[in-house]
Amino acid sequence: MVTTGSLTYGGGQAAAADYRGAAERHAGSQIALHEGVDSSLLPEAYTTAAGVLGHDVSGWQGDVDWADATKAGAKFVYIKATEGTGFKSDHFTQQYNGSYAAGMIRGAYHFARPDISGGAEQARYFLRNGGGWSPDGRTLPGALDVEYNPYGDTCYGKGPAAMVAWIKDFSATYAAQTGRDPVIYTSTSWWKKCTGNSAEFGDTNPLWLARYATQIGELPAGWPTQTIWQFSDSGRLPGDQNYFNGSPDRLAALAEG
């Protein structure tokens, strides 16, 4: 579903909420566009990196064959639920429920649009539309995808202090309703540019790092390590390829809270 319309946000000016391309947009789509993909990435990355293999999907993949995904080695998945305050993925229910039925650990993510509305408002929209968490041992805390603006200014017209405040509002609202701090998905380059390399989230929010290469490289400030590494935008699993940084028991612990 794609919607547009008028809204009042940030000083009372009316703006158009543009969601063109939202159905296909996925975690890292703008990172790959702006930062590129390391052409030296080889299939050996699947066996040389330590961790639990997983992936993330969006409407771009359509309905997923979850039996095939599990046979290919997928142990966990993040699924795009929402974007801004006007887009819900038409494929979310099949992807979210289907992965669970296939025995996977799964979670939902929200593509941030700080240009459209406040962080708290977007957290509430995400929670109303599939982004919640339950202590069933199979549901990961929701993730906030903050990356390059698909419609214009890289940082959505916000300076570092304003961007940090926006992310804090989203995180605090999500935590207040679920008891869990959301995972933050980003790249080091975007984080440096748009938050001034803020170190304020490393003690609370797990990091899901996007870098399409054979090495993780530099992390954003405040995080001593990544929880998940999105290392490729394609591979043997549907969607983007990820590694959880730890054992299956630690992945289960993240889900259990």
Q: Report the C-alpha gap between 59 and 25 in whole angstroms.
A: 8
> Each residue of 98-144: pLDDT tens digit?
999 999 999 999 999 999 999 999 999 999 999 999 999 999 999 99
Task: Dump the DSSP string for the chain.
Answer: -----EEE-SSS-EEE---TTTTT--TTHHHHHHH---TT--TTHHHHS-SEEEEEE-GGG-S--HHHHHHTT--EEEEEEEETTTEE-TTHHHHHHHHHHTT-EEEEEEE--TTTS-HHHHHHHHHHTT----SSSSBPPPEEE----TTS-TTTT--HHHHHHHHHHHHHHHHHHHSSPPEEEE-HHHHHHHHSS--TTTTTS-EEEE--SSS--PPPTT-SS-SEEEEES-SSSSSEEEEESS-HHHHHHHHH-
> Each residue of 35-57: pLDDT tens digit?
888 766 554 455 555 679 999 99
> Each residue of 73-87: pLDDT tens digit?
999 999 999 999 999
Q: Is 95 inside a domain boundary?
A: yes
Q: Is 6 inside a domain boundary?
A: no
Q: Is 247 inside a domain boundary?
A: yes
Average of pLDDT values for 8-36?
73
Q: What is the pLDDT of residue 8?
A: 46
- Which residue range is the domain that position 119 belongs to? 22-256
Q: Is 5 inside a domain boundary?
A: no
Q: Report the C-alpha gap between 48 and 44 in whole angstroms.
A: 6
Q: Is 130 inside a domain boundary?
A: yes
Instruction: Give catalytic status of residue 145 as yes or no.
Output: yes
Which of 35, 115, 147, 181 does the annotation list as catalytic? 147
Beta bridge partners of 139: 106
CATH code of the domain in which 55 resides: 3.20.20.80
pTM above 0.75, yes or no: yes
Q: Evaluate if residue 5 carries a pLDDT over 70.
A: no
Q: What is the pLDDT of residue 39?
A: 61
Q: 4-8, 43-47, 185-189, 192-196: which has the minimum mean pLDDT?
A: 4-8
Q: What is the pLDDT of residue 31?
A: 86
Domain count, the chain: 1
Q: Is 7 inside a domain boundary?
A: no
Q: Report the C-alpha gap between 238 and 26 in whole angstroms.
A: 12
Instruction: Give catalytic status of residue 56 as yes or no.
Output: yes
Which of 18, 35, 145, 181 does the annotation list as catalytic? 145
Q: Is 2 inside a domain boundary?
A: no
Q: Evaluate if residue 92 carries a pLDDT over 90.
A: yes
Which of 56, 83, 233, 240 does the annotation list as catalytic? 56
> Each residue of 138-188: pLDDT tens digit?
999 999 999 999 999 999 999 999 999 999 999 999 999 999 999 999 999
Average of pLDDT values for 196-221?
95
Q: Is 12 inside a domain boundary?
A: no
Q: What is the pLDDT of residue 55?
A: 96
Instruction: Give catalytic status of residue 115 as yes or no.
Output: no
| 110 touches 143 (CB < 8 A) | yes
